Every structure is written in C-alpha cells, then in structure tokens.
Amino acid sequence: MQLQKVRLHPFAGLADRTYEFVSGMNVVLGPNEAGKSTMVNGILCALFESTTYKKRHWENSLERYVPRGGGDTFGVSLECLVGGASYRITKSWGGERRCELTLPSGQVVRSADDVDQQVASLLRLKRGTWQNILVASQSAISSTLKDFDTDGEETSDLAQILRSSAFDTDGVSIEKLERAINDQLNAVSSRWDSAAERPEKDKGKEKGIENPWKRGVGTLLDAWYEHERLRNELSVVEAHERNLDAINQQVSELICERDKLQSYVNKYEPIVNALKERQGLELKLESAKTNEKRLREIQSKWPLHESELSRLEKSLTTSEDEHGGLRKELSQAQAYQESASKREKLKLAKQAEEKLGEEKKNFAAFKGLSTQLFHDLKAAIADRDRHAASMAAGKLQVRFVPESDTKVSIKAGLKDSREEMVTRAQPLHTEADGIVTLTTDEFKFEVESGDGRFSAIKDKHESAQVSISELLSTVGVASADDAKKRETDYSIAKTNLERAETALETILSGQTLAELASSCGDDVSAPERKTEEINNAILTNREKHNQQQADGEAKRADIKIWEEEFENQDAVLDRLLDARKQKQDCEQDLKKLPPLPEGIENAEVLEVEFNLRRIRLTEIKEEELPNARNQQSTLNATEPDHTTKELTDFITEAESNYSLEKRRFESLVRLKEVFEKMKDRLDSGTLDPWMQRLSQTIQQVTSDQYTDLSFDGGGVTRSSGIVIPHELLSMGTKASMGFSIRLSMAAHFLEDLDGFLILDDPMVDLDADRQRKTADVLRDFAEQKQVILLTCHEAHAALLTDSPLRITRDGEDQ
C-alpha cells in the first residue's frame, strides 16, 4: 500500500488540512505543534480504528481527537494505491459515525465490519507491526535496541518471514529430488508465463501465434500453440464465410436499390425540369411581401414620431428646471452634514482626553520601573539556572572512611552545608553536582569534577543569585513569579496609556482641542431630506433627461432617413400601392402553374430529393455494384481447405490436450510448493538474511565504527570486536542502532509488499556525519519503498530532498 493523500476534516487541533504524498521520499518539514504527529495519528485512525467502538475505547483512545474548537465529530479521508489500483477510505467518529471504502471499480462499501476486514486485507501485515515498526516515533527509535526482545505482534510477523524448522529426509537426496521436480516442471512449463497464461514476454501480436518461440518450448505451451493456431484458422474460415455472405447480400441489396432509384428518376425528371419558373416567382413574391410590410410600418410611425418629438422638447425644459432646484437643496444639506460631523468629532475628542487622563494616573503607580529592568531580571534568572544546570552535569560520588570517629562539615555542589558524624563502620557516602568540600577540625578536603571549572561556575551562580535579589527588591516583589505578574501589570498599563494617546491624536489629526471646537461654527438648520435622498433624486432626474434626449435623437434620425428615401409621407403611400400590385401579380402567375405532386409541399424540396437520388443511382451503377461483384468473384475463388465444422472438431481435441497439460502443470506446481515448504524446514530458523542486512545498515550509518548487534543483553559490537552493553551507549549510538533495526525489519516486512515507512525525526540525536550517512541509507531505501519522514529541522530535510512538504502552525502549508 502506498499513501497518496490524507485529509483531516476536522481532527484534533486541525479544522481542515490535506497532505499529499508521492512514491519514494516524502519529507514533512514544520515546527513543533504544526500538526505532523496529528497527521500520523489521522493516518493510523483511517487504517486501524473502527467506527464501531465501545465507550471505554472512545474515552481511552479516540476522544482526544475531538476538535478543540468545538463540535463532537472528527473525520479522516485517506487515498492510497494497492497494486496500482486506487482506494479511498473515509471515516468519522463521535456524534456522526461514518465509514466508507471506495473500490477501484467505483463501488462503495459502507459496512464498518466489511470495511475493516478489507482494509486489513489490503495492509497484509498486522496492526501491531505497522504501528510499532513501520510507523516509528522519535522516542521509539531511540528505545528500539532496549525493547527489541519484547514479545509482540511484530515479533510474530518477523518470525513468519525468517523462521523455519528442520525435518528428516530419511536418506533421500534433497538436491536430486529438487532437480527432478524442476526438470519435469520445466519440460511442461518452459517458455510459459503462468500468471498471464500466455507465452513468456507475450511474443507476437496475436498472443504469440504470429511470432512463436522456436526453441525450449514446453508441452503446455506447445498444446497452447496448437489450440490457438486452430482457433485462429477457425476465425479466418468464419471471417471468409461471413465476408462471402455479406458480399452476396450487398450485391442483392444494391441491385434492388438501383432498380427503385431508376424508376423514381424516370417518373420525376420531367416534373423537376418544369419547377424552375415556380422558384423564381416564389422568390419575387417573398420580396414583395417584405417590402409591403416595411412600407406599412413607415407610414404608421412617421406622424407619431413628429408628435412625440414636440412632447419631448417640453419635458426636457421642465427637467432642467427641476435639476437646478435639486442642486441648491443638495448644497444646503451638505453644509449641515459638515457642521454635524465636526461636532461629533469634538465630542469624541473630549471623551478621549478624559480617558488619557485616567490612563496617566494608572501608569503613575509604576514609577521607577522599565522594560529594561524586567529584561535584566529575566537574564539574571536565566544565568543562574544555566550555571545550576552546568553544575548538575558534573556528577561526583565521594566516599570517605576515617580512621577514627570524625565530625565532618559537608558542602555538596550548590546545596547548603550539613554536618555528619562519620566512623569507620559508617563511612561517608555523598553525591554532588560539580564540586564537594569536606571540612573537619584537622583538614579541609575539596573535590571538583572535570578540569576545575566548577568553582568558577559556582561563583557565577552565587553572583547571579545576588543580582536576582537586588533586582527583585528594585521591582518591589519577593519572588520571580511575583515579578512576572508585576511585569504583566506594567506592560498592560503602558500599552493602555499609549493606546489612549494614539486615540486622541488620531481624532484631532494635528489640531488642538480648542482649534477643533472653534472650527465647529454656528448651528445650521437641518434639511427636509437627507443628502443620499437628494443625490438619488438628482440621478433620477438626469437619467430621465438623458433617456428623453436619446429618444428624441433616435426619432429625428428615423425621420431623416425616411425623408432622404421618400421626401414626404405621400411618396410612402405611392410606393406601398406599387408593392401591393407586385404581390398580387406574382400570386396570379403562381396559380397558373401546374400543382406539385401529391406529398410534395414545395419545389425546392422535390428538386433536392431528386438530385440526391440521381447521384446515388450513378454511384451504384458506376462504382459500388461493379466493386461488389469483383469481391464476390475473388471470395469464391479463395475457398479455405477446411470447413468450420471440421475445425470445430479439431479445436475440441486441442482444448482437451491443453487442459490435460494445464492440470499436469498445476500438479507439478503444487508438488514443488510442498517440496519448497519441506525444504524450508531444513533451514532451522536462521535469521541470517535479516542479520546481514542489519549489519550492513549499522556499518553504513556509523561509518564502520560498529559492525554488528548482539541480542544477548542488547549489546553492540564495535569494529575492534568489543561488545558494548546497551546502557553504556551514547544517545546518538542508541538512535543509530534503533534506526538500523527498524529499517532492516521494515525492509523484510515490505520486501514483497508495496508498503510505506513513517519516521519521526530519526536523525535528531545524531551528529553531522551520522546524519549524512543515515540520509544516504534512507534515500536508497526510498528508491524501492515509500518513506514519509517528519522533521522540524531544515538541515535534516535538506539532506533528503530539495522539495519538502512544508507545514506551518497557521495551517498555510507549502
């Protein structure tokens, strides 16, 4: 299974986010809390979490994925490829439970049990193997070496792939038996592709028949060749018979069609020749009708246009007068609006001035404090904590055995001094961070870790503590927590003061309060209508005025065209009478012509139909019928050697022979499978293939510093041959070993599967050299299998790909 796309909608802290993957290497790069782990949890839920669950499972495993912003339902959609076919899994849990599996055919499975069963079948491996080996978190990689010997599902799966048991051959030579089985199987199946049930490499165009294998052909393929050859010959004979039947039918149909067309042409040819005059008269009549209609419209509109123009001129004068009055009313309304706006601004300015005075009083309570003071306090606390951490890095263990009872004063690291009575029977055992001092009446004994720098660190720690006390006193608080609260209050007061100052400056816009009050002037009387209403009235007036102007211009243009064509309205009437006379003459001439044949409504249709049939008659007589008779003669002269009945009997016999060879082949295959299982049992549970791959991976990622892994106690073998126990390994080496184990196990699990591997920051505990080596190994692995690697480190992503999938906390992925 290869992942293509996952959509979380919503899921945990993500409202709606989609991730797309490609085959090979996929690097998901983003800061912490950007949703990388949430993405992986969404994939696991889609693959393994059923939508039928009990209350306890909901509370223990699923409830944490409910959207944080509200709602009671979360969902995931996952698209994947299995064997090149596309599947889509859609699930939702909570208030709305939903489960769908869209198959490659487009059909949808909605039963939760059926979906879970089919998804498990697609995954092939157990859920524990995917979650514990193939989907590895950062912490899981580092702890792999320590936890590898636990008994879980992944151990069972690995055993199924790598283990076997021995059996007794009772003196029979396994090699000889294997050769005999293989020889017989090869004699039957040579050059045969059993999966495709056709010849190897599918030689030739027609399943290998046109270009068959000449050498090394097994009995199964030979039987298949004979069967297919006879089938092809039957196809040729059947095609010949079909072609002959078809051409005989075609000749008969062409003769019949020819005779019908010849009869039609003989009947209608004289009629079509007499239709030319009718077509001319019909065109002339149509022109006369169109001209009459146009002249009637002009005769009707001309006097109406002249009357409407007189009315429009009066209306335009009235509209201009109304426009002047509206403009004056608008000016008065705008003056009133400007005065009211200034007074409202003055009101707001006075309120802002009062607010500024209040904030100044509040800020006065923090006199003597500054942002730099709080910054210095935090820096001193950070120095103190850093020095304390440095002291903790130098762990010391001191054992003091006196000859006689001795009272000892003990100063361990940064802790306060204490006194103990130490005897020979009860010696002193103590631990310290970095430095320890033992003082008795007779001596003072001081022990320091490393190169002696812890004394200086201790002094710096004490100096930082003194600075903290002084700064806390200046701030006026007793503890760092009180200082944080004091800083928050100070910041709020300062911000409020700045906002109040900005608000007043924004309102005044460079004026003083007195200047703004002076600019308000005297009150202006309120208009009867609002500015918006007056503007609408002006727009309506202008639209009406413009429309009237346009109507007048259009009517003048029409009258001008008519005057240029007719001079006056009397000439229009004369032309109308002429058009009517021409129409009547055409109608009389058409009545004198003979009528069309019954079923023909106009001459044009008849002429078109006649010409088409005459052309078709010529095609049949000169081309189609001669060609068909030539093909008929050729087919009659090339009759096949066998009839279809004879070939059908031959094919039945060949099918029987082919089926016999297939059963023989299947029997030999089953025999070989049984033999292989028995032979596998001779290999007594060896893990050598996996161990070799593991050893090779360890050497690659550690630059040959380590060569092998011993599962007796979780030790690792150095190149010198020394085995180092797990608990003594550095974090980087533990991470390298865990990565090597998981990658080699993943390679075995996915060897015959089209699967994927998810890793979370596998290089975070590695130095630069091991990071490069690990990246090389991962890129090689990604050439064969899909890898999805999560990281928050730009440098790690750059070692693996030039184009990572970038995700951000705000959800805008790149």
Proportion of the chain above pLDDT 70, given as a percent: 89
Give the pLDDT score at 4.
95
| Cα–Cα distance, 437 to 405 (Å, whole number) | 18
- For residues 323-349, average pLDDT: 75
Give the pLDDT score at 811.
59
Question: Residue 729 carries which side chain, given as an amino acid letter?
Answer: L
Q: Is the pLDDT of residue 25 over 90?
A: yes
Q: Is the pLDDT of residue 154 over 60?
A: no
| Cα–Cα distance, 64 to 93 (Å, whole number) | 11
Give the pLDDT score at 165.
24
Task: Single out the residue of 118, 138, 151 nearest to residue 50, CA to CA.
Answer: 118
| Cα–Cα distance, 786 to 774 (Å, whole number) | 16
Q: Is the pLDDT of residue 433 over 90?
A: no
Give the pLDDT score at 185.
84
For CA atoms 157, 162, 166, 171, the dihedral sign is: positive
The string of DSSP letters for 748-807 reads HHTTTS--EEEEE-TTTTS-HHHHHHHHHHHHHHHTTSEEEEEES-HHHHHHH-SS-EE-
| Cα–Cα distance, 569 to 305 (Å, whole number) | 12
| Cα–Cα distance, 79 to 20 (Å, whole number) | 9
Beta strands in 156-195 (DSSP E): 192-193
Dig out the tokens for 68 from the structure.
């944080």
DSSP state of 11: B
Cβ proximity of 702 and 774 under 8 Å? no
CB atoms within 10 A of CB 326: 19
DSSP state of 61: I
Phi-psi category of residue 94: left, alpha or beta, with phi > 0 → left and psi -120 to 50 → alpha: left
| Cα–Cα distance, 224 to 230 (Å, whole number) | 10
pLDDT confidence bin for 105, thresholds 50/70/90: very high
For CA atoms 278, 283, 288, 293, the dihedral sign is: positive
| Cα–Cα distance, 697 to 740 (Å, whole number) | 6
Give the pLDDT score at 786.
93
| Cα–Cα distance, 744 to 781 (Å, whole number) | 10
| Cα–Cα distance, 581 to 584 (Å, whole number) | 5
Dig out the tokens for 648 from the structure.
């059908």
CA dihedral (795, 800, 802, 808) in degrees, to 10, reads: -60
Mean pLDDT for the chain?
A: 82
The DSSP bridge pattern shows strands 2-8 and 17-20 to be antiparallel
| Cα–Cα distance, 82 to 219 (Å, whole number) | 35
| Cα–Cα distance, 174 to 180 (Å, whole number) | 10
Dig out the tokens for 671 from the structure.
């025999």
Long-range contacts of 353-356 (CB under 8 A, 24+ apart): 353/504, 353/513, 355/500, 355/503, 355/504, 356/497, 356/500, 356/501, 356/503, 356/504
Residues 6+ apart with CB under 8 A from 307: none
Higher-pLDDT residue of 658 and 715 is 658
Q: Residues 71-100: pLDDT tens digits?
A: 899 999 999 999 899 999 999 999 999 999
Q: Is the pLDDT of residue 158 over 50?
A: no
Whole-number Cα distances in Å, 188 to 185, 192, 224, 702, 775: 5, 9, 11, 51, 48
| Cα–Cα distance, 658 to 226 (Å, whole number) | 9
Q: Which residues of 771-806 are buried (b: 16+ CB within 10 A; e: fewer)?
A: bebbbebbeebbeebbbbbbbbeeebbebbbeebbe
pLDDT confidence bin for 114, thresholds 50/70/90: very high
| Cα–Cα distance, 206 to 67 (Å, whole number) | 59
| Cα–Cα distance, 444 to 451 (Å, whole number) | 20
| Cα–Cα distance, 254 to 625 (Å, whole number) | 6
Give the pLDDT score at 169.
34
| Cα–Cα distance, 54 to 49 (Å, whole number) | 12
Dig out the tokens for 553 from the structure.
């211009």
pLDDT confidence bin for 65, thresholds 50/70/90: very high
pLDDT confidence bin for 168, thresholds 50/70/90: very low
Residues 6+ apart with CB under 8 A from 351: none
Q: Is the pLDDT of residue 466 over 60?
A: yes
Q: Residues 225-269: pLDDT tens digits?
A: 888 888 888 888 888 888 888 989 988 999 999 999 999 888 888
- For residues 22-43, average pLDDT: 93
Cβ proximity of 658 and 197 under 8 Å? no
pLDDT confidence bin for 48, thresholds 50/70/90: very high
Whole-number Cα distances in Å, 571 to 292, 295, 308, 574, 575: 14, 10, 22, 5, 6
Give the pLDDT score at 435.
84
Give the pLDDT score at 152.
39
- For residues 36-43, average pLDDT: 93
Give the pLDDT score at 21.
95
Cβ proximity of 593 and 278 under 8 Å? yes
Lowest mean pLDDT among 122-131, 136-145, 641-650: 136-145
Cβ proximity of 732 and 743 under 8 Å? no
Task: Single out the residue of 537, 628, 562, 602 nearest to residue 325, CA to CA.
Answer: 537
Give the pLDDT score at 712.
54
Rg of the chain over CA atoms, in angstroms?
A: 50
Q: Residues 580-596: pLDDT tens digits?
A: 888 888 888 878 776 66
Give the pLDDT score at 163.
33
| Cα–Cα distance, 282 to 40 (Å, whole number) | 82
Dig out the tokens for 481 from the structure.
């927590």
| Cα–Cα distance, 195 to 192 (Å, whole number) | 9
Q: Residues 673-701: pLDDT tens digits?
A: 877 776 665 444 445 677 788 888 888 88
Q: Is the pLDDT of residue 143 over 70?
A: no
Give the pLDDT score at 71.
86
Residues 6+ apart with CB under 8 A from 62: 45, 49, 53, 93, 94
Give the pLDDT score at 19.
95
Q: Residues 290-320: pLDDT tens digits?
A: 888 888 888 888 888 878 888 888 887 888 8
In terms of DSSP H, where are the helices of 520-643?
531-566, 569-592, 603-619, 625-637
Dig out the tokens for 424 from the structure.
């020979």
Give the pLDDT score at 140.
62
CB atoms within 10 A of CB 100: 17
The string of DSSP letters for 109-163 reads E--HHHHHHHHHHHH-S-HHHIIIIIEE-HHHHHTHHHHTTS-SHHHHHHHHHH-
Give the pLDDT score at 733.
86
Q: Is the pLDDT of residue 346 over 80?
A: no
Cβ proximity of 781 and 26 under 8 Å? no
Q: Is the pLDDT of residue 782 over 80?
A: yes
For CA atoms 26, 31, 34, 39, the dihedral sign is: positive
| Cα–Cα distance, 567 to 573 (Å, whole number) | 12
Q: Is the pLDDT of residue 18 over 70?
A: yes
